[in-house]
Structure 1
Amino acid sequence: AAPLPQSARLLDELGLARATPASLMARWADAADDPEALGGRARAVLGAGPHGPVTADLVADGPHLLIEGPAGSGRTELLRAVVASLAAAERPDRLGMVLIDGRDGVGTGNGRNEGLRVCVEIPHVTTHLIANDPVRMREFAQSLSAELKRRAELLGRTDFAQWHAGRVAPGRVIAQRTPPGAGDIEAPPSSTLRLRPGAAARQRAEAVPPLPRLVVVVDDLDALVSPALGAPGRPAAGSVTRALEAVAREGERLGVHLVAAAGTDGRTADSEPARRATLRIRLAAPQQGPDEPAPGRGELAHLDAPAVGFQAGRVTGRIPRTATQRPTVVPLDWHRMGDPPTRRPVRELGNGPTDLALLASAVERAARQVAAAQVPSLL
């Protein structure tokens, strides 16, 4: 185990220090062959841990994730990291994301006031809602409820994974084999493909539109559960909250996941999203000082497992794509020979695109190359 770093870069923890379409397509191909993630992978790398990157798997350990922390603890930046790492793990036609900024006043300025709007360039993001327009908020609540109803009717009595397993089984393709000694010995082996007897079932399955996973990401959930007096979105906050509660109750069977961030004042403790969250992150209050860690220091806890500390990976920093640190030689005592290498701080530049913009560009190019259709918007 290595000590947690003072800060972490998300692309380094993802193994995408130089994000390229080829590296992303390789990850997507690996996800398509994963039998544990039928219908789409929803695995988010949170940051650097004592034994390497810390990951939250919404399929295996979820279905829902709740992030709690005081103001300034890095909740919004961690949500951005979740969105970015989910996009790196799965192609956009197998995973869609809906972003909700529950606090009014975001998305209209620069820097910290941008909220989740900085993630809209990622092709996986289909909808972005800011809780400052009651009409748009009610439309979103109705659309999200209609999507849950559509999925329930499509799945019937099965769940999301079983439904996709039934679509995959009839479509298996095998190579035609020639019996030994049959035909001309000099003739090349046949490469003709034949379908299993379930070809008709496969054609019927292909007639049904694909059903991707859907992740609803909410920042400032407490501002929706108990909006402030005079908030522009207060008249419609209840309808959005009820739609999110339906996601928390029914989302596991329907392939819909909820990732929400809230404060530590207890306003969301009795809400349905908080009760249904099997994955929980607790962020520490920020500390001032040159030797203190950057915002984003926290612990990930889930059922039947001890909490794991981590330093959240930053994704909106402006860090050069090329390595600027040259190899260095340092004295090493013999009794420290087996220790992991110490992490060196990376100098962040004040110009150039952010890591999130670089990743979004690579994801967009990769999605074009694999001809991935975007998930329809809810608005």
Structure 2
Amino acid sequence: LAWAERFARALAPLRADAAPAEGAGYRPAAASLPAAARLLDELGLARATPASLMARWAAATDQGQGVGGRAEIVLGAGRRGPVGAELVQDGPHLLVEGPAGSGRTELLRSLAASLSAAARPDRLGLVLLDGAGGERGDGLAPCTELPHVSAHLVASDPLRMREFAQALGAELKRRHELLDGTAFAQWHAGREATGRMVAPRQPTPGELRGDLDPQRTGTLRLRASVPRTEPAAGPSPLPRLVVLVDDFDALVAPALGSTGRPAAGSVVRALEAVAREGTRLGVHLIATSARPDRTADTELARRSTLRVELDAPDQPGPGRGVLRYADGREVPFQAGRVTGRIPRTATLRPTVVPVEWDRMGDPPARRPVRELGNGPTDLALLASALDRASHLVSATPVLFPPAP
């Protein structure tokens, strides 16, 4: 109310220059994109806690997560709120293109984080692949702390690369045999209808007792101990799987002298099989490319109904891009950063922001936040909360390759 009164008093002395043309409606000025965005803010997880994550997972279950699952991604901030898509409905694959320094790797990390926040680790698994062989910093290594990540390959060891390609091919074959011609969602719906997907038994009040549970983090926490009369429930036999590939162009056309060059072809063939068959098998592919000319003839480029084009890193900075949907819609966005240091006391300092008159009608912008650089990253905080939440709901992470 105070903001509305100030705005009304600012309008009071103004008069229109001339009457508007007949039939011309009011067209508000479009809000500008922020210069930077924090992914956790766009996810509504400014303070990521196990309780807030479990609530998101429960809401996703109510919206169809149990029948084949969903794969929701949030890229960052748009002019009217968060910008994202859902791979099952809008996908199934996503290709991110942008020049060097445009923020491709950071966006891929944010996509891994948003996928993890949207689904339980026993219903959605992530497989990470650094196509440049670790030549550009940490790559996707910071994402390995997420409980949803079941494999991480750096394309520098030919032996491991061939093993990865064989494992991915074996996973596609296993899904073919399990589905037996049935669509992925229909297969899950049939299992749920026939009662073969049995929910774990809830403990009665008499069965609850305090028991120390040693966690991987070394912290002792109280948990509900239940006498087991049957084996613990494991992950779904057919969870959704998302393969995230950084520098896909470096695999398609590896540089001379690259240590992973001898086995790059086998990995590309496995990824191309995912692009062709993943739609009906519940496997999605998200990849980045710095050289669209090298990847234009791939199956991924032909079958990616979702495209992201990142701008050159000049102004206002890396992460600015456009999301293109299959129906022709184009939505500009500023990618949400997930490896920034958490804001602390900097948020309490007074901030002065210039406001131009043509932006007076826009909603109040978020206050700029400076990183102090002495705390954990948002990705590390989210991974810790996800790990605790997955233990609380007894969600066993997906195995890749699956155990025989």
TM above 0.5, yes or no, is yes
* Residue in structure 2 matched with residue 188 of structure 1 by the alignment: none
Aligned counterparts of 2:262 and 2:353: Cα–Cα separation in 1 = 62
**TM superposition shift of 1:331:** 10
User: Is 1:168 aligned to 2:192, yes or no?
Assistant: yes
* Residue in structure 1 matched with residue 325 of structure 2 by the alignment: 302
Decide whether the 8 Å contact of 1:13 with 1:48 is kept in 2.
yes
Q: Deviations over 1:149-198 (max 9, x none)?
A: 0001100111111111112223399xxxxxxxxxxxxxxxxxxxxxxxxx
Instruction: Identify if the C-alpha distance between structure 1 residues 93 and 209 changes in structure 2 by more than 3 Å, giving closer, same or farther.
Output: closer
Give 1:213's match in structure 2, choosing from 240, 256, 265: 240
Decide whether the 8 Å contact of 2:242 with 2:283 is kept in 1.
yes
* Residue in structure 1 matched with residue 311 of structure 2 by the alignment: 284
Instruction: Identify if the C-alpha distance between structure 1 residues 87 and 32 changes in structure 2 by more than 3 Å, giving closer, same or farther.
Output: same
User: Is 1:7 aligned to 2:31, yes or no?
Assistant: no
Decide whether the 8 Å contact of 1:20 with 1:362 is kept in 2.
yes
Code of the residue aligned with 1:356 in structure 2: it is L
* Residue in structure 2 matched with residue 269 of structure 1 by the alignment: 296
**TM superposition shift of 1:322:** 7.1
Give 2:182's match in structure 1, choosing from 149, 158, 161: 158
**TM superposition shift of 1:3:** 0.7
Aligned counterparts of 2:255 and 2:351: Cα–Cα separation in 1 = 54
Code of the residue aligned with 2:379 in structure 1: it is L
Instruction: Identify if the C-alpha distance between structure 1 residues 2 and 155 changes in structure 2 by more than 3 Å, giving closer, same or farther.
Output: same
Decide whether the 8 Å contact of 1:279 with 1:301 is kept in 2.
yes
Give 1:29's match in structure 2, choosing from 50, 58, 63: 58
Instruction: Identify if the C-alpha distance between structure 1 residues 336 and 132 changes in structure 2 by more than 3 Å, giving closer, same or farther.
Output: closer
Aligned counterparts of 1:336 and 1:271: Cα–Cα separation in 2 = 44
**TM superposition shift of 1:338:** 4.5
Instruction: Identify if the C-alpha distance between structure 1 residues 228 and 37 changes in structure 2 by more than 3 Å, giving closer, same or farther.
Output: farther
Aligned counterparts of 2:112 and 2:234: Cα–Cα separation in 1 = 31
Instruction: Identify if the C-alpha distance between structure 1 residues 236 and 17 changes in structure 2 by more than 3 Å, giving closer, same or farther.
Output: same
* Residue in structure 2 matched with residue 202 of structure 1 by the alignment: none
Q: Name the SS for the 2:42 alignment partner.
A: helix
Aligned counterparts of 2:120 and 2:73: Cα–Cα separation in 1 = 14
User: Is 1:38 aligned to 2:67, yes or no?
Assistant: yes
Query: Matched residue pairs, number?
Result: 338
* Residue in structure 2 matched with residue 109 of structure 1 by the alignment: none
TM-score with structure 2 length normalisation?
0.79
Structure 1: tracts of 5 or more residues without a match = 107-111, 174-205
Decide whether the 8 Å contact of 1:75 with 1:261 is kept in 2.
yes
User: Is 1:362 aligned to 2:390, yes or no?
Assistant: no
Give 2:281's match in structure 1, choosing from 254, 258, 262: 254
Decide whether the 8 Å contact of 1:92 with 1:367 is kept in 2.
yes
Code of the residue aligned with 2:102 in structure 1: it is S
Query: What CA RMSD, in Å, does the superposition of the two structures yield over aligned residues?
Result: 2.5
User: Percent sequence identity over matched residues?
Assistant: 70
Instruction: Identify if the C-alpha distance between structure 1 residues 242 and 327 changes in structure 2 by more than 3 Å, giving closer, same or farther.
Output: same
**TM superposition shift of 1:336:** 6.4
Instruction: Identify if the C-alpha distance between structure 1 residues 252 and 324 changes in structure 2 by more than 3 Å, giving closer, same or farther.
Output: same
Moved more, 138-147 or 326-335: 326-335
Code of the residue aligned with 2:244 in structure 1: it is V
Code of the residue aligned with 2:125 in structure 1: it is G
Instruction: Identify if the C-alpha distance between structure 1 residues 225 and 37 changes in structure 2 by more than 3 Å, giving closer, same or farther.
Output: farther
Q: Deviations over 1:256-275 (max 9, x none)?
A: 00000001351001111111
Decide whether the 8 Å contact of 2:234 with 2:396 is kept in 1.
no
User: Is 1:118 aligned to 2:142, yes or no?
Assistant: yes
Q: Name the SS for the 1:60 alignment partner.
A: helix
User: Is 1:141 aligned to 2:168, yes or no?
Assistant: no
Q: Name the SS for the 1:54 alignment partner.
A: strand
Decide whether the 8 Å contact of 1:320 with 1:349 is kept in 2.
yes
Aligned counterparts of 1:337 and 1:171: Cα–Cα separation in 2 = 57
Aligned counterparts of 1:232 and 1:273: Cα–Cα separation in 2 = 24
Aligned counterparts of 2:398 and 2:290: Cα–Cα separation in 1 = 31
* Residue in structure 2 matched with residue 345 of structure 1 by the alignment: 368
TM-score with structure 1 length normalisation?
0.84
Decide whether the 8 Å contact of 2:155 with 2:161 is kept in 1.
yes
Decide whether the 8 Å contact of 2:74 with 2:83 is kept in 1.
yes
**TM superposition shift of 1:325:** 3.8
Q: Name the SS for the 1:120 alignment partner.
A: helix
Code of the residue aligned with 2:92 in structure 1: it is P
Instruction: Identify if the C-alpha distance between structure 1 residues 314 and 209 changes in structure 2 by more than 3 Å, giving closer, same or farther.
Output: closer
Instruction: Identify if the C-alpha distance between structure 1 residues 315 and 23 changes in structure 2 by more than 3 Å, giving closer, same or farther.
Output: same
